[in-house]
Structure 1
């Protein structure tokens, strides 16, 4: 495996960061998880926009342009001879001292990893997930804003620990007002009477790239989409439920807190959106190996 690290492409054995890096010491940094399909890096520009927005929010100056960062992602895929896979792009505050002061960190650390990933087995996409609601509340925007995709993921990890204790793969997190926010690593959607509903940004969610893509797909297909607050009552009584995320893609949820969603099987709208999303991955995003694309997929 070849990894990009601060201007070099190095074997994973040499891809090391300092123990004084504030990304390690304090979770001070930002990242993106990105997918590649069919010789394309899916929604790469949208991921880079979110990465740079996260960095700006925490006053982390990125020394590279978005075009330069895009080329790093593509070249990392090429160096590993990958046409499909998962990409982790990370920017930390950089090396400092043992104090908190970010001014002591003179230069950000930037690295990019490309590898394969399968978050859930295929059978769960066919049968759907069984999940629980956890007691851990989502970070409030006035503390650690969930819209910043930061290296500090302890809030999500606390929720994942609760899910692990009862043997389910994912969990729903509420905000401090008891509204449904999101899952530990995914966004949530429900369907009621033909309307697709998902929580708005202000309840305390990470604005997912896959989430926004599914909203666009649904509206293009004439499906009414509402971004509004809802509670667990609305989840329990929904006609359908599913999660979205870069690693998870679009995956049905069929049971929440022991309660089947409708008939306990993935719903028709969920299947429609899964199929449409998978088709979009064939044509959206910059090519990794442009010379292989002739006659296959058109560049957008």
Structure 2
């Protein structure tokens, strides 16, 4: 059966889900988005994703043409229309159609697009054996340019770093910030564990404040693991006891090597596996 896509104000068949070639989302990456998970037919951490979407929109002076409650309802209706039990939602808001120029005053009719489908981020063996990373030479966006905390449609920065990773035979790549500190990976936040303490870069390191990142930090604290947000270097990752990534699509996945150096035992560690189990239990409950 063809997918049902929410476009602007109604559900349409995927073949009819079209936007103008003059839409600034297409022409300039001018818009915002969220990736959201569905577990057991329920939208996971829905409020947190909607709040971040509106924050990203406010940061780029984009007015979303729907109230938050109506947008949440549209997301849930799209999930139901596609009979989706476990899957992934891509919620997009574009600036709308405009002219062949940068002036946002010449745009109109912002587009709300909701796609609900299945997704496979990494092969199953990656979650069992862990993944290897390489450091990309492409750095994370300078916070004085486009803030990495805005989840915008312009993902070229991440894409160029991901190309470096795939060229090296990896499925992910580590990105540093303009100070040479660890920021995040191209699509995921990063954590290390050293002497039983979880460490992750702070928001001002040039990261997207991940919804899954925040959930895992909360789970870790509830389990009694100390959690600290502090600047990290590649050396910290090289000598860590464990390392893992978090993301809406990726969930929780261990990292066992960086730049050819094994991390810890070179296998997913016990705390990582414990947090993965706790996160999976959280998804079954539908949230906190």
1:262-298 Cα distance to aligned partner (Å, 9 max, x none): 110000000000000000011225xxxxxxxxxxxxx
Deviation at 1:166, TM superposition (A): 1.0
Distance 1:131 1:202 in 2: 23
1:181 aligned onto 2:183: yes
Structure 2: gaps of 5 or more residues: none
1:283 aligned onto 2:285: yes
Distance 1:104 1:117 in 2: 36
Equivalent residues, number: 286
Could you tell me which residue of structure 1 aligns to residue 66 of structure 2?
64
Given that 2:95 and 2:107 are in contact with CA atoms closer than 8 Å, whether structure 1 keeps it comes out as yes
Given that 2:39 and 2:85 are in contact with CA atoms closer than 8 Å, whether structure 1 keeps it comes out as yes
Deviation at 1:127, TM superposition (A): 0.2
2:218 to 201, 207, 216: 216
TM-score, length-scaled by structure 2: 0.98
1:136 to 125, 135, 138: 138
Q: Which of structures 1 and 2 has the larger relative contact order (alpha carbons within 8 angstroms, sep 6+)?
A: 1
Given that 2:41 and 2:79 are in contact with CA atoms closer than 8 Å, whether structure 1 keeps it comes out as no
Could you tell me which residue of structure 1 aligns to residue 231 of structure 2?
229
1:177-216 Cα distance to aligned partner (Å, 9 max, x none): 0100000000000000000000000010000000000000
CA RMSD between the two structures = 0.8
2:82 to 80, 90, 93: 80
Could you tell me which residue of structure 2 aligns to residue 29 of structure 1?
31
Could you tell me which residue of structure 2 aligns to residue 20 of structure 1?
22
Could you tell me which residue of structure 1 aligns to residue 273 of structure 2?
271
Could you tell me which residue of structure 2 aligns to residue 192 of structure 1?
194
Matches within 5 A, 1:3-18: 3-18=5-20
Given that 1:40 and 1:282 are in contact with CA atoms closer than 8 Å, whether structure 2 keeps it comes out as no
Matches within 5 A, 1:23-172: 23-172=25-174
SS for the counterpart of 1:244 is strand
SS for the counterpart of 1:108 is coil
Distance 2:227 2:264 in 1: 20
SS for the counterpart of 2:284 is coil
Could you tell me which residue of structure 2 aligns to residue 240 of structure 1?
242
Distance 1:164 1:22 in 2: 29
Select between 233-242 and 102-111 the one with higher mean Cα deviation.
102-111
TM-score, length-scaled by structure 1: 0.94
SS for the counterpart of 1:282 is helix
Given that 2:39 and 2:286 are in contact with CA atoms closer than 8 Å, whether structure 1 keeps it comes out as no
Distance 2:183 2:137 in 1: 13
